[in-house]
Structure formats: structure tokens, C-alpha cells
């Protein structure tokens, strides 16, 4: 079988989706914040259908994020939403909660299921566990290193997805921590709505160069990484390992930036596939990203080459 | 977002079971295990050398587990082992052997989050019960049902679950529900935090948590500090959970196991907290209609607490007054001073093992299981041989103290520190 890895993007709007499609994205994770967590933008049901038709016309795929930590109150709405996704022609459902798995099996038969709990999808054996219960893809935790990724790919029959670019979530609370603090400061109106666009970040005195974006939404408080993963220079390692999907996380980034990123990774992947042995990383691919990179956010290798202790 | 816990109405639960719930206590080592059980825990949970989330605790060897299980058996109590990491590939080899060994030494249940540990236990150590850890952040009944269908007899709910949500879960699924009722809390969804990984390269989901949520941060909007840097800073640290005022509600909503957090906490803390909840549960079952919260229970808990307390998510989503801004800890007003080893009826002297400096003239309290309790001043203090002392200054030193009333082995003596 020919190796055709996927370049997976996020989208904040139909406009971004069209532009990233043109830039070379093969698939998109989008959704509605009622069901999905930390989305780049909101896609209503109408927009979802539109996205599917835009993507399918170009041979691309749409994955619906249904990866919230689900509470009882959401359960009655899951079957209908999942059935809608099925009917709309969505190509896969991204889930972390077993309740979604059960709803999808019952109301979206045959739907591809991507298991993604973000921080806690950490080993191949657990991937196989979810495979036996219907998952078709395993989205690896960003805290894994290259060796663990290669090993997981080698040992798993599932599709393996790895985030290669952008911000990651590092903390999720159900509490509204920013609002609580502002009330403590008796300044609750200071940021009436601590949303994505606010440019709010936290900093710790011993790490003055690290700016951790923090925002709130209906699912609580989210703290994001201070640097952006960028594995562009080392894509050949992940391609050689046979990783099936390369995720570009576009949350909290301008469309122009995401366009550059998608286009750069597209070039790298295409160059590798055309001639794996003769593949050479081109500095200009990275330069095109760096031109639009927020100077206060470093491009980093994330945990790809780190050894962690515990 | 609601704030203000002071005026919240009490939860109006319906009684739907009368079986006595289990009181489940942490035990960081063998001595703590013995005290937790002696003071009234129906079960304790401990950590072994591997696969647990407290890599800094002095975790149990298999030999110590065996001894712990023997001790527990004498009280009809059970021992659970936390195997609640999210495993990485390199952790997988050895899981089978470890779980078989737990079964062999008489452990009743494991508390697991990673499905591969769950499935492996079911396959190789069928006598071990598997309880789903709070690290799975389970808070809806469909997910609870999923785990029941997977063969698990018990789910430890996410700490974010409210009374009403617990009631709905109990109504929809016939399974044992375990809930944290006391102790420190992650302010994040458990398991959904890698601050330690990012700040210190320590893997929080394998036991390396360095509690970065309790650090102080400055907030900036578009590069401008929101407030003066370093002053009264932002933090994500939560007050500790304490549900002593809501025992009837917890029992009536059908929680099957009341869990106390704190494998890293002291003997004094664990024994004191267990002692209080034991009394409350027993008082309720002795006379549900006539149950009243005793003021001394709350006072006792405050003597051990080292952070301010709140009710977590049981009543409402925590707000401003549920987080700790400013100084992190409040010092407990009492300090553990000694353990009673023996008591001589004829002389009225207790033999004590010193656990903290105390001296003649100092005000102390004696506490034992069931709340036996009196205050006195240390009047006569001798060493083991009977030579008079002014001060018990050596850690673990065996001394004798004349007590106002008879005491028993494993009673605790504490001293007032402010």
C-alpha cells in the first residue's frame, strides 16, 4: 500500500477552511464548542455541512470534534448530534469520553472514530484497547518523545496521529479561574469575557520569557503552552516512522500564519513522498513560517527529544 | 459563574440506600495504614513501588503490603493499591507480574485509570477488584455504564461531579460509586494537566506532579501586566475539600465509598480525619432522623487541616472564595506530639513514643478512636527508666507521662502551638 500520510488542520471559519484547503490541507478537525473542546472556531450544523461539501469536493476530509469531558446534561443531545454528523457525511468523530463512543456506535454506524484524550493517550497497548472497542485512530499525547512515537507506530495497527506544529493545551480546569481571580481583585469587569482573542497570558517570575496563554469558555479554564511545536526540520523522522496523520494546531493563530504553516509542511511531505531517499529539508520552508511567527513565542521541538522524569 | 458558598441551600437528596458506605483512607506507609484502620477506616489505599501517582511517597514493598493486609484483616478492613498512572510504552512490561503479586499478597482492589492496566488485571489477577480512578475524569452516567459493562464494580468519580449529577448516575447505573469527600484537590480535571511536564520536565501523569497549579503567576493582557507584578498574584490553587457538614446528603445520595485524600499526609492528619468521619457515619446510622453535626467534629478537622477548606463541586462550581490567593498554607493550630504505646492503671502513667518536642507545663490533648478526648497539662514526665525529664526532645524517644484519664495504645497526644 502506498504511504499517503495526511496533513491535518484546524479551522476557525469556513474562510480559513477554504484557504487552508488551497494551501494543501488533507483534513480538518472542526466542531461546536458544546461538544468539542479547544476549537479554533465555532462551526454550527449548517457550517459543518458546508465544510463537508467544500472538503469533499477537493478530496479532503472533515473530522468532528466531540472531545469534551461529557457531563450528564449533555447526554440527551449526543445521539442527535452524532446522527447529524453521520448524515452530514463527516468522515470521523474525535472522542475522549466513552459516552461518545457508545453514542457513535448506536447512532453513527460505520463512522471512523478517533480516540483523543490529549494528555492521557500515552501507550500502544491502550490504543489497542480502544481499537477493540471501535476506535480507528489513536491521537498521541504531545508529551511523548520520538522514540515512544516510533515504537507506538510500530506496535499499533491503528492510524497514528501526531501534532507537529502549534500550541498545545497544558491544563484544563472546570473552574473559571480568571474570573475568580478578578473577583478576588474586586475588578470583575476588567475582562468581562476571557476569551481566546484577548491576548491574556500568565507568567511565572522565574520564567520571564515564557508566556502561557490562558482563556476561559463554557468548559472552564484552559492554559496553553508558551512555545509552538515545530517539527518541520525533522519531518523525515516521523515520515520514516510511518505516522499516518500530521496535525497542525491552528488555535489562536491568524489565518495567514496557518496558511504558511500548512503550505510549508505540504512541501516537506510531498518532497519526501516523491523521493524518500533524496529528501532534503529546505531552509526556506521554515523561513516562510518564521516570517510570521509571533516573536514572543519560540518554535520548539516540544517533548520530541526530551527525557522526562517522575 | 456563581460564587458565595455561605448562603447555598443544603442539597435535598432522597434516601435510596441504607447500606453503610465504606470509609476509605490514604496510607502512605505501614504505620499510617495501621493508624487509619485503627481509627475507623473500612479500607485504605496505598502505593506500591510502581505504577502509582505519588513517586515521592515512601511506597510499600510487597512484604509491607502483606503485613498491612494481615493487620487490616484483624479489623475486617481492606487494602487497595493505587496503580493509577497513564502508562508509557516502557512501563507496560512488568504490569502482569506486578498485578499478580498484588493479588498474591492479598490486596482487595487496584485503583486504575489506564485501560491497559484495567484489562491486564482482569486477565491475570481476577481476584483483584478493579476500581476506575478519578484520573479518568468520569462524570456522566453513560461513561459509568461503559465501565460497568467492562466489568468494573466501582467508579471513582471526577471531583467535578455535583450532588445532583451523582444522584442521576446512581439512578441510571447500578454500580458502586466512590467520591472524594476530604483533602487536597487538583484544580484541573485530574489527569488533564501537564504543567509539571512543561515547567520542570516531570511527568505529572506518572507521579511527577510538582504542584505548579499552586505557584504564583502574573497575568498580562497584550504584554501589559494587569496588576502590580509580584503582588497578590494569580494562582490556580484550590482550597481543600471537606464534606463533614454534608454527611447525610452524601449517604442519602448513595455514595458507596467516602474517600479521603492524602497519602503524603501525616499519621496525625489521617487518624484525626478518619476518626471524625467514622463518628459521623456511625452517628448517622445509629439514628438517621436524629443525626446532628457535632461541633467538635469540625473543630477536630480544623486541628489537622493545613489549608482552608471548602465543598468542592458538590454544591456548585467553585468561585473566588474557594481558591487560595496570598499565603498558601494555614498552619494547623495543633501539632502531633506523641503516640501512646501503653498505659499503667496502677501508676496512672502512659508510655509514649515522642513524635515532636514537648515539655512539662505544656498544654496537650489526648485523642483516640471514637473521639475519646481530654486536655491536660504535662505535669510529670520521665524517661523509660523513670528518671525525671523537663523536656521530651528526642524524636521517637520512649517517655512516660502522667495522664488525667486512662489512655490506650495508639491514642495520640497533640500539643497546642498557638
**Segment A247-257, tens digit of pLDDT:** 999 999 999 99
**A239 neighbors A155 (Cβ within 8 angstroms):** no
The DSSP secondary-structure symbol of B348 reads: T
Domain end position, chosen among B302, B322, B342: B322
> pLDDT tens digits, residue range B140-162?
999 999 999 999 999 999 999 99
CA atoms of B196 and B188, how far apart (whole Å): 13
Same structural domain, B80 and B164: yes
Tell me the three cell numbers of residue A158: 491503528
Query: Which among B217, B237, B308 is the top mutation candidate for probing chain A, defined by the most A β-carbons within 10 Å of its own β-carbon?
Result: B217
Give me chain B's average pLDDT, please: 92
- DSSP labels, A178-231: HHHHHHHTT-TTSSSS--GGG-EEEE-TT-TT--EEEEEETTEEEEE-SSEEE-
Instruction: Count how many domains chain A has.
Output: 2
- CB-based contact A108:A85 (threshold 8 Å): yes
Q: Based on the fold, state whether residues B70 and B48 are members of the same structural domain.
A: yes
The phi and psi torsions of B290 (rounded to 5 degrees) equal: -90, 5
Q: How high is the pLDDT of residue B329?
A: 64
| A35 lies in some domain | yes
Q: Which residues contact B361 (CB under 8 A, 6 or more apart)?
A: B377, B378
Is position B116 within any domain? yes
Neighbours of B242 (CB within 10 A): 22
Q: Helices then strands (H, E): number in chain A?
A: 10, 14
Task: Indicate the angle between helix axes B295-304 and B267-286, nearest 10 degrees.
Answer: 160
For residue B327, the model assigns a pLDDT of: 76
| Minimum distance, in Å, between the CA of residue B147 and any CA atom of chain A | 8
Domain containing A287 — which CATH number? 3.20.20.70
Residues of B in contact with A173 (CB under 8 A): 187-189, 236
Whether residue B18 has pLDDT greater than 70: no
* Chain A CA closest to residue B199: A207
If asked whether residues A59 and A146 sit together in one domain, one would say yes
Residues of B in Cβ contact (< 8 Å) with A177? 187, 234, 236, 323
Structural domain of A24: 6-168+228-300
Return per-residue pLDDT of chain A as tens, 310 residues: 689 999 999 999 999 999 999 999 999 999 999 999 999 999 999 999 999 999 999 999 999 999 999 999 999 999 999 999 999 999 999 999 999 999 999 999 999 999 999 889 999 999 999 999 999 999 999 999 999 999 999 999 999 999 999 999 999 999 999 999 999 999 988 886 777 777 899 999 999 999 999 999 999 999 999 999 999 999 999 999 999 999 999 999 999 999 999 999 999 999 999 999 999 999 999 999 999 999 999 999 999 998 888 7
Contact (CB<8Å) B217/A173: no
- Where is average pLDDT lowest: A5-19, B12-26, B241-255? B12-26
Q: Which of A278, A270, A261, A264 is nearest to A167 (CA)?
A: A261
Å from B23 to nearest chain A CA?
Answer: 26
Residue A208 and residue A98 share a domain: no
Chain A residues with CB-CB distance to B121 below 8 A = none
Give yes or no: residues A130 and A260 share one domain: yes
Question: Long-range contacts of range A39-47, CB-CB < 8 Å, 24 or more positions apart?
Answer: A39/A10, A39/A65, A39/A251, A40/A10, A40/A11, A40/A12, A40/A16, A40/A249, A40/A250, A40/A251, A40/A252, A40/A253, A41/A11, A41/A12, A41/A13, A41/A16, A43/A11, A45/A84, A45/A88, A47/A14
Calpha distance A105→A98 (Å, rounded)? 11
Count how many domains chain B has: 2
**Chain A residues with CB-CB distance to B220 below 8 A:** 200-203, 211
**Which range marks the domain in which residue B314 is found?**
22-192+236-322
Residue A140 covered by a domain: yes
B287, B322, B357 - which closes a domain: B322
At residue B328, the pLDDT reads 63
Output the pLDDT for position A189: 85
Write down the residue that cell numbers 469556513 correspond to.
A14
Q: Quick one: A106 and A161 in the same domain?
A: yes
Residue B375 sits in a domain whose CATH number is 2.40.30.10
Chain A contact probe: residue of B51, B114, B168, B188 with most A CBs at under 10 A: B188
- The CA distance from A163 to A119, in Å, is 12
ipTM given for this complex? 0.96
Q: What is the pLDDT of residue B212?
A: 93
How many whole angstroms separate alpha carbon B249 and alpha carbon B8? 14
Beta-bridge mates of residue A114: A94, A137
Output the pLDDT for position B3: 37
Residues B177 and B104 in one domain: yes
Q: Is residue A93 part of a domain?
A: yes
Region for residue A153 given its phi and psi (left: phi exceeds 0; alpha: psi -120 to 50; beta: otherwise): alpha
Smallest Cα distance from B326 to chain A, Å: 11
- CB proximity A119 to B under 8 Å: yes
Three-class DSSP category at B98: helix
Same domain, B73 and B185: yes
Q: Which three cell numbers stand for residue A128?
A: 489497542
Q: How far is CA A110 from the centre of its chain?
A: 23
Cross-strand bridge partners of residue B349: B344, B402
Phi, psi (5° rounding) for residue B386? Answer: 100, 0
pLDDT at B7 over 60: no
* B143 & B46 share domain: yes
- Note whether A217 contacts B: Cβ–Cβ < 8 A: no
Amino acid at each position: 500500500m502506498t504511504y499517503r500520510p495526511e496533513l491535518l488542520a484546524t479551522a476557525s471559519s469556513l474562510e480559513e477552511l477554504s484557504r487552508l484547503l488551497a494551501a494543501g490541507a488533507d483534513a480538518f478537525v472542526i466542531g461546536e464548542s458544546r461538544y468539542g473542546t479547544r476549537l479554533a472556531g465555532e462551526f454550527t450544523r449548517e457550517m459543518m455541512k458546508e465544510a463537508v461539501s467544500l472538503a469533499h469536493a477537493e478530496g479532503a476530509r472533515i473530522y468532528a470534534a466531540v472531545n469534551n469531558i461529557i457531563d450528564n446534561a449533555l447526554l440527551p443531545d449526543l445521539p442527535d448530534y452524532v446522527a447529524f454528523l453521520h448524515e452530514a457525511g463527516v468522515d470521523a468523530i474525535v472522542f475522549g469520553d466513552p459516552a461518545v463512543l457508545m453514542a457513535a456506535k448506536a447512532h453513527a454506524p460505520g463512522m471512523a472514530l478517533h480516540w483523543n484524550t490529549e494528555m492521557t493517550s500515552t501507550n500502544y497497548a491502550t490504543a489497542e484497547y480502544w481499537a477493540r472497542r471501535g476506535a480507528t485512530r489513536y491521537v498521541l499525547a504531545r508529551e511523548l518523545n520520538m522514540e515512544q512515537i516510533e515504537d507506538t507506530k510500530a506496535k499499533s495497527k491503528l492510524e497514528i496521529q501526531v501534532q507537529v506544529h502549534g500550541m498545545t493545551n497544558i491544563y484544563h480546569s472546570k473552574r473559571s479561574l480568571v474570573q475568580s481571580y478578578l473577583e478576588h481583585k474586586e475588578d470583575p469587569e476588567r475582562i468581562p469575557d476571557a476569551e481566546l482573542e484577548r491576548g491574556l497570558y500568565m507568567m511565572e517570575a522565574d520564567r520571564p520569557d515564557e508566556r502561557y496563554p490562558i482563556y476561559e469558555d463554557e468548559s472552564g479554564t484552559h492554559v496553553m503552552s508558551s512555545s509552538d511545536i515545530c517539527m518541520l526540520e525533522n519531518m523525515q523522522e516521523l515520515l520514516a516512522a510511518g505516522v499516518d496523520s500530521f496535525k497542525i494546531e491552528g488555535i489562536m493563530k491568524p489565518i495567514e500564519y496557518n496558511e504558511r504553516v500548512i503550505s510549508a509542511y505540504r512541501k516537506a511531505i510531498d518532497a519526501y513522498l516523491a523521493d524518500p531517499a533524496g529528501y532534503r529539508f529546505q531552509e526556506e520552508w521554515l523561513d516562510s513560517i518564521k516570517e510570521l511567527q509571533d516573536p514572543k513565542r519560540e518554535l520548539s521541538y516540544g517533548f520530541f527529544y526530551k527525557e522526562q522524569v517522575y | 459563574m456563581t460564587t458565595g458558598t455561605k448562603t447555598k441551600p443544603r442539597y435535598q437528596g432522597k434516601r435510596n440506600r441504607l447500606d453503610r458506605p465504606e470509609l476509605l483512607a490514604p496510607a502512605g506507609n505501614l504505620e499510617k495504614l495501621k493508624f487509619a484502620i485503627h481509627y475507623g477506616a473500612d479500607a485504605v489505599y496505598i502505593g506500591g513501588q510502581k505504577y502509582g501517582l505519588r513517586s515521592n511517597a515512601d511506597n510499600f514493598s510487597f512484604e509491607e503490603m502483606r503485613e498491612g493486609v494481615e493487620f487490616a484483616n484483624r479489623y475486617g478492613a481492606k487494602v487497595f493499591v493505587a496503580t493509577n498512572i497513564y502508562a508509557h510504552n516502557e512501563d507496560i512490561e512488568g504490569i502482569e507480574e506486578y498485578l499478580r503479586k498484588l493479588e498474591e499478597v492479598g490486596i482487595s482492589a487496584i485503583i486504575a485509570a489506564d485501560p491497559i492496566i484495567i484489562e491486564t488485571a482482569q486477565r491475570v489477577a481476577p481476584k483483584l477488584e478493579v476500581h476506575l480512578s478519578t484520573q479518568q475524569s468520569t462524570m456522566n452516567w453513560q461513561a459509568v455504564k461503559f465501565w460497568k459493562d467492562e466489568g468494573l464494580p466501582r467508579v471513582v468519580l471526577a471531583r467535578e461531579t455535583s450532588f445532583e449529577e451523582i444522584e442521576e448516575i446512581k439512578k441510571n447505573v447500578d454500580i458502586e460509586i466512590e467520591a472524594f469527600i476530604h483533602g487536597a484537590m487538583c484544580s484541573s480535571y485530574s489527569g488533564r494537566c501537564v504543567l509539571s511536564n512543561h515547567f520542570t520536565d516531570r511527568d505529572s501523569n506518572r507521579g511527577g506532579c510538582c504542584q505548579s497549579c499552586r505557584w504564583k503567576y502574573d497575568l498580562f493582557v497584550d504584554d501589559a501586566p494587569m496588576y502590580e507584578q509580584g503582588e497578590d498574584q494569580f494562582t490556580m490553587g484550590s482550597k481543600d475539600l471537606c464534606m463533614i457538614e454534608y454527611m447525610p446528603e452524601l449517604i442519602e445520595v448513595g455514595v458507596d465509598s467516602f474517600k479521603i485524600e492524602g497519602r503524603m499526609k501525616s499519621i496525625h492528619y489521617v487518624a484525626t480525619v478518619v476518626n471524625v468521619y467514622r463518628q459521623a457515619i456511625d452517628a448517622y446510622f445509629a439514628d438517621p432522623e436524629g443525626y446532628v453535626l457535632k461541633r467538635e467534629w469540625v473543630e477536630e478537622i480544623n486541628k489537622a487541616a493545613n489549608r482552608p477548606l471548602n465543598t468542592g463541586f458538590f454544591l456548585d462550581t467553585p468561585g473566588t472564595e474557594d481558591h487560595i490567593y496570598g499565603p498558601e498554607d494555614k498552619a494547623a493550630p495543633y501539632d502531633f506530639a506523641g503516640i501512646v504505646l501503653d498505659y499503667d492503671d496502677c501508676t496512672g502513667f502512659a508510655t509514649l513514643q515522642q513524635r515532636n518536642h514537648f515539655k512539662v507545663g505544656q498544654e496537650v490533648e489526648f485523642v483516640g478512636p471514637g473521639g475519646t478526648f481530654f486536655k491536660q497539662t504535662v505535669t510529670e514526665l520521665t524517661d523509660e527508666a523513670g528518671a525525671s525529664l523537663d523536656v521530651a526532645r528526642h524524636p521517637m524517644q520512649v517517655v512516660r507521662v502522667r495522664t488525667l484519664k486512662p489512655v490506650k495504645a495508639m491514642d495520640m497526644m497533640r500539643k497546642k502551638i498557638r
